[in-house]
Structure 1
Amino acid sequence: MRKLVLVFVLCFSSIVFSQKKDKVLVTINGEKTMISDFKRVYEKNLDAIDSEEAKDVEKNLELYINYKLKVKEAYDIKLDTLASYVKEMDGYKNQLSAPYMQDTTFINKLVEDAYYRTKYEVKAKHILVRTPKIPTSKDTLLAYQKIMKIRDRIVAGEDFEKVAEETSEDDSARDDAKSGRKANKGNLGYFSAFKMVYPFEDAAYTTKVGEVSMPFKTRFGYHILQVDSTRISKGELEVAHILLNDKSAKGEELINSIYDKLENDEQFRALARKYSDDTGSKSKGGKLRKFGTGMMVKSFEDAAFSLQKEGEYSKPFKTRFGWQIVELIKKYPVESFEKMKGDLKKKVKSSSRAALSEKAVIDKLKKKYTISEDKKAKEIFDYKNVRTIAKDSLQAILLTINGKEIKQELFIDYIQNRKNMPVFQLFEDFKDKEILAFYKENLEKTEPEFAYILKEYKDGLLLFELMQQKIWNKSSKDTLGLKNYYTTNSSKYDKEYDKIKGEVMNDYQTYLEKNWISDLRNKNAIEVNKKQLKKLINSYNKK
């Protein structure tokens, strides 16, 4: 019974489409329902109705009026103030508003970019000038000026790798005598989408081959990069390997003997379980997780991607981890956009680039809203211990968004546990948050579709609670009333009460609801515009 009521709620929730010649169809206690309102509800479900009787316009209008009366009753007895209802609505409102916090067009563009950057790999080298974890505006300026001077040297003709080895604050650019690591001179090899932090990826894919980018910022500091080449992605591989940590001649001798065993048709998996020093993979016969370019050391990657056929294995080779042999299990080439679109969208939405979509929404709102900042109120930013200022001294208006005034106190609350950024930058984040919050608070006024769907859910939730109180709980707890109903209507039942209690309860619920509806109709003023109803019926008969 409850399920049927919820279905009915969904069927008779409305989305009003204004029409130039719209007329009033029903008036309940002075509240008007337009023809377009009812038509939208009625037509929404015609395809799901399988009988002419169920399509009857007058009968559907009566059901719709009943629904409106029940919802009105729920509001009259203030069910919308119940704590459980308020909590449920807050959760649903957050869920419903989430898509409005994202720019769909922008998200789609990010997904298309991600596919291109999955299909094509880019090879680049970079130079990094670090900034402190909590940079001041001076720190940021100095780092920018430093990286610009470095860029000027390269643009003037100096070799990028030489300058990288000399100036980059990425330690991998120089030799490390302690670990024996050789300098990469800024070279990062080939990479594709989601392999680097987004600003780095974006700079690499938007810089032409051979050119040096302008400085760009990541959480590490300022970078410049030079793109060496692009190529079609090699996709991903699934491989198994055998690793011997012993890099000496003895290790080489053993890896060669293992290779000879493979040549004599011994199973790769069995040999991996027996000999491999990789504790994470040996129990699985040396099997590793699927990977693409840029995820393994270069010598391992080169050996793996050189294999062409499933089951083919490499000759022994040496990496910084030791002696290895790798076997190809399966190749995973890049699939079509249509096949990858769903997964890419999930990746985009769960990655840092999703914030760019939210930022796109905020940027649009900034152009639309009237936003002002009070310079005098912002002077607190200069206080060394700004977070310790007494609240009674923080009552000045700091920010105004379309007339909504936001005091200094709210900003100080915001930054209390955010100490990883300078105050001036935190203010920009705070302002963006408040702009988005204002938009969210006013969605019902600015987004009709949101308002209608939210109203639909509100009314449905209220009706569920009302039906529970008026019908379902009463029919299950009123044992005497249920038995009296059975006794009064015993002529239509051919079995004892205990054997058909469920059937009797359903009938009793119908009986209670019928009487309740009758009471509601008696205490409310309902007026149906007969002329417009007749026109409406005729319009459907012609179809």
Structure 2
Amino acid sequence: MYRKLLLILFLFLYSLVSFSQKEEDIVFKINGKPVCISEVRSAYERGNKYADTKESVSDFLQSYIKLKLNVEEALAQHLDTAYAYVNAYESYRSQVAAPYMVDTVYEVQYIKDLYQRSLENIEINHIVFPFEKDVVFPADTLSVYKEALAAREIILKKGFGTDAFHPKNAGSKIFLGAEKYNGYAGWIAPFMLSYKVENAVYSLPLNAVSFPIRSAKGYHIVQVLKKRPAVGSVEVEQVVFNFPHIPPLKHHIDSVGTVARREYSNIKSGKNTFQDLCDEFTRVFQTSKKGCYLGIIGIDANLPMSFIGAAFNLDKAGDISEPIMSDYGFHIIRLLRKYPMGSYDQMRYALKDRVIKSDKVQDLSDDRRKKLLDKFKVNINQPVYASLNNIAATISPRDSLFFSSVTNGNDILVDIDGKKKYQVKAFVKYLEIRRKEVNVDPTELQILQITEASPYSLSTDILKEYFDSFLFLVLSDYAEATLGEREPEFYNTMKVFSEELLSYEVKNKNVWKRSASDEAGLSDYFIQHRNKYSLSQKKYKGLVLHVQNDNMLEKVKNFVGRKKVNNKLIEDIRTRFNTDSVQVKIEIGSWIKGDNRYVDNMVYGESEPIPYKGYPKFLVIGRFIDKPEDYTDVRSEVEVDYQEELEKNWDKYLEGKYKVEIDESVLNKIG
């Protein structure tokens, strides 16, 4: 079962469910508790839905009353609090509730919109002004924002090609992601930039320069140069001439570049082929069957931008690129084939998976949270949240010092419908869990994936993301806990399941388990009804004794001798041989041929059986019987009859304990 790690931090209050009902005819009462015609009619229709022959209303009513009587007795015996009931009920409730809790309309539309976006590539200029630390405070961002804003003014006047500005701590080109490049960043597709930057890119008109956009890493400025239909993907091979040192020194670039250009020239002149070069590459670097094969890549591949540009500039299968330099070396690329963009149906599941694993998932989380906020009356204590935000202005919520700085743990932070309240200390406990939950299991419950998906860097943003996720979790739990108040179909489904489960549990406890385990009752029943039981053929009745070796086998044979097989002998064997350890395994029974392979061998002369594990030697003692001597000789038949008697007695007990009043005049309205 999937786990709800974060939800177990809080005490859940499950509201009592009640529906206002219009005045209805009452079919029957049990101890004054009414059962209305709509309930009986629904049960009658449900019971006859797949029946070949429709059951009469009167016969059905008797069965339904028995069900209700068993439910009343189950409640009287407090079986609704027993582990078996609670576990089965909660498990089934989770399954039934799941479709009600998943709003796929927005999600489907989001994926469709993302697919439409993926049909277009955009060429951009880009620059990032990074934050100096992984976690920054509001005061730290001001200088970076001013630097970005000043740079934008220069860009507007002189363009991105100017050297008049250069961000401090700007990422080296060793980074593969387009978001780390300063200057010309090439062609962009979804998922290549953080979602806020990507949204800006896809909303800007041609040649427009954005205002600074804050992401987790810093402030970004982008300019849209061109737009084109998406190019799909390419399947390529490559031979790479690696630099001996990264970043490379100038003489490394010169020497490795010379070799790469020489090999490219040999291929173009016909002196060698790309395959010759590939074979040599495979031999030197021992790439085995993979050879030079790189795979299928899109423009969003985690590869150097120069490499991606060269690969997509190849036109026909077999075309070879000039040597392309990256931070790792020089690459010669051969095109195998091109693939157009897939259809929506082909790509939707892959897109959804990428959304779940990216910061775009926060968009989905935000929308779901807003819908939950609209569904319930939620009061967020703004002064209390402001006190937490003031702490976050100087201490990161990811720092344990934040937790000890919170002094208003008993204040109410969130109130849902006036029924469910969460204190600040519940939120702080959630923060502690989030701090520990750094790595997310890809198989984790989707709610948890959403809450862990956004690595903000501004401390107050971190607090808000944590609070939004906390709010989403508690609202989701409240929505599920109160589902029956809003969804009559869900309420009725769970009511039917609960009653059938309670009826099963009470009969299992008082009838079915007893009919199989009540040895004294089975024995008494057999004695009282001995004459109705017989054997269809002779049985061999006795013991099969399994021992560990020949020496023990002789000891057991001498001990049992010609003694009569009965309970005293069995107890004597256990006392003599099994006091400190089990030296003799004992099988007790009565068997016909084919029931027991050891009896078959010793009594009926069949083939040698497979030895009992750990006890390879065995002895069979007993005698033939032609009629049952006790209930064990015909146990299955006695159990069936005994259970039938217990059920009759149980029904009489319930009918005597609970008063049932039936309104016969209402019955003809059911069918």
Which residue matches 1:78? 78
Which residue matches 1:317? 323
Q: Which moved more, 1:289-298 or 1:400-409?
A: 400-409
Identity %: 26
Counterpart of 2:379 (choices 371, 384, 400) is 371
| Mapped partners of 2:60, 2:234: distance in 1 | 60
1:243, distance to aligned residue in structure 2 (A): 3.4
Letter matched to residue 126 of structure 1: H
Which residue matches 1:533? 667
Distance 1:261 1:409, change over 3 A: same
Q: Is the 8 A contact 1:101 1:358 kept in 2?
A: no
1:287, distance to aligned residue in structure 2 (A): 3.5
How many equivalent pairs are there? 507
| Mapped partners of 2:486, 2:373: distance in 1 | 17
Q: Is the 8 A contact 1:189 1:294 kept in 2?
A: no
Question: Does the residue aligned with 2:126 lie in a helix, a strand or coil?
Answer: strand
- TM-score normalized with structure 1 length: 0.73
Alignment of 1:94-493 (within 5 A): 103-131=103-131, 132-154=133-155, 156-162=156-162, 166-168=165-167, 171-172=170-171, 185-245=182-242, 247-250=256-259, 253=262, 273-275=282-284, 277=285, 282-295=288-301, 296-305=303-312, 312=318, 314=320, 317-320=323-326, 321-327=328-334, 331-366=338-373, 368-373=376-381, 375=383, 379=387, 382=390, 387-388=403-404, 394-403=409-418, 404-416=420-432, 422=459, 426=463, 429-430=466-467, 433-434=470-471, 436-438=473-475, 440-441=477-478, 442-444=481-483, 446-448=485-487, 449-455=489-495, 458=498, 462=502, 465-466=505-506, 468-471=508-511, 473-478=513-518
Letter matched to residue 166 of structure 1: F
1:113, distance to aligned residue in structure 2 (A): 1.6
1:429, distance to aligned residue in structure 2 (A): 3.6
Letter matched to residue 338 of structure 1: D
1:446, distance to aligned residue in structure 2 (A): 4.2
From the two aligned structures, give the one with the greater helix fraction: 1
Q: Is the 8 A contact 1:101 1:436 kept in 2?
A: no
Question: Does the residue aligned with 2:669 lie in a helix, a strand or coil?
Answer: helix
| Mapped partners of 1:272, 1:516: distance in 2 | 83
Letter matched to residue 403 of structure 2: R
Question: Does the residue aligned with 2:165 lie in a helix, a strand or coil?
Answer: helix
| Mapped partners of 1:68, 1:330: distance in 2 | 69
Rg bigger for which structure? 2
Distance 1:184 1:196, change over 3 A: closer
1:387, distance to aligned residue in structure 2 (A): 3.1
Distance 1:339 1:142, change over 3 A: same
| Mapped partners of 1:157, 1:492: distance in 2 | 108
| Mapped partners of 1:168, 1:24: distance in 2 | 79
Name structure 2 gaps, 5 residues minimum. 1-16, 244-255, 396-400, 436-456, 540-589, 596-633
Q: Is the 8 A contact 2:236 2:336 kept in 1?
A: yes
Deviations 1:61-97 (A, max 9, x none): 4444444444443333223333565566666666666
Question: Does the residue aligned with 1:340 lie in a helix, a strand or coil?
Answer: helix
1:116, distance to aligned residue in structure 2 (A): 1.2
Which residue matches 2:545? none
Q: Which moved more, 1:109-118 or 1:367-376?
A: 367-376
Q: Is the 8 A contact 2:239 2:277 kept in 1?
A: no
Distance 1:340 1:251, change over 3 A: closer
Which residue matches 1:24? 26
1:219, distance to aligned residue in structure 2 (A): 1.5
Distance 1:397 1:322, change over 3 A: closer
| Mapped partners of 1:502, 1:256: distance in 2 | 89
Distance 1:378 1:113, change over 3 A: closer
1:241, distance to aligned residue in structure 2 (A): 3.6
1:212, distance to aligned residue in structure 2 (A): 3.0
Question: Does the residue aligned with 1:117 lie in a helix, a strand or coil?
Answer: helix
Name structure 1 gaps, 5 residues minimum. 1-14, 538-543
1:115, distance to aligned residue in structure 2 (A): 1.5
- TM-score normalized with structure 2 length: 0.61
Letter matched to residue 134 of structure 2: K
Deviations 1:370-395 (A, max 9, x none): 5152637955765676533597x744
1:112, distance to aligned residue in structure 2 (A): 1.2
| Mapped partners of 2:272, 2:511: distance in 1 | 76
| Mapped partners of 2:213, 2:275: distance in 1 | 54
Question: Does the residue aligned with 2:367 lie in a helix, a strand or coil?
Answer: helix
1:292, distance to aligned residue in structure 2 (A): 1.1
| Mapped partners of 2:514, 2:387: distance in 1 | 63
> What is the RMSD of the two structures over their aligned residues, measured on CA atoms?
4.8
Deviations 1:494-537 (A, max 9, x none): 67896797787677666655654454344333344433332222
Which residue matches 2:579? none
Letter matched to residue 104 of structure 1: T
1:186, distance to aligned residue in structure 2 (A): 3.3
Question: Does the residue aligned with 2:190 lie in a helix, a strand or coil?
Answer: coil
Letter matched to residue 482 of structure 2: L
Q: Is the 8 A contact 2:311 2:321 kept in 1?
A: no
Deviations 1:307-363 (A, max 9, x none): 6677x4636633434454545556543332234334434444454433333322333
Q: Is the 8 A contact 1:443 1:451 kept in 2?
A: no
Distance 1:345 1:421, change over 3 A: same
Question: Does the residue aligned with 1:243 lie in a helix, a strand or coil?
Answer: strand
Question: Does the residue aligned with 1:358 lie in a helix, a strand or coil?
Answer: helix
Q: Is the 8 A contact 1:397 1:406 kept in 2?
A: yes
| Mapped partners of 1:445, 1:345: distance in 2 | 30
Letter matched to residue 443 of structure 1: T
Distance 1:66 1:217, change over 3 A: farther
| Mapped partners of 1:503, 1:192: distance in 2 | 73
Deviations 1:101-131 (A, max 9, x none): 6643321221112211233333333332334
Question: Does the residue aligned with 1:75 lie in a helix, a strand or coil?
Answer: helix
Q: Is the 8 A contact 1:377 1:397 kept in 2?
A: no
Deviations 1:380-416 (A, max 9, x none): 765676533597x744445544435544444444445
Q: Is the 8 A contact 2:321 2:334 kept in 1?
A: no
Distance 1:376 1:210, change over 3 A: closer
Question: Does the residue aligned with 2:223 lie in a helix, a strand or coil?
Answer: strand
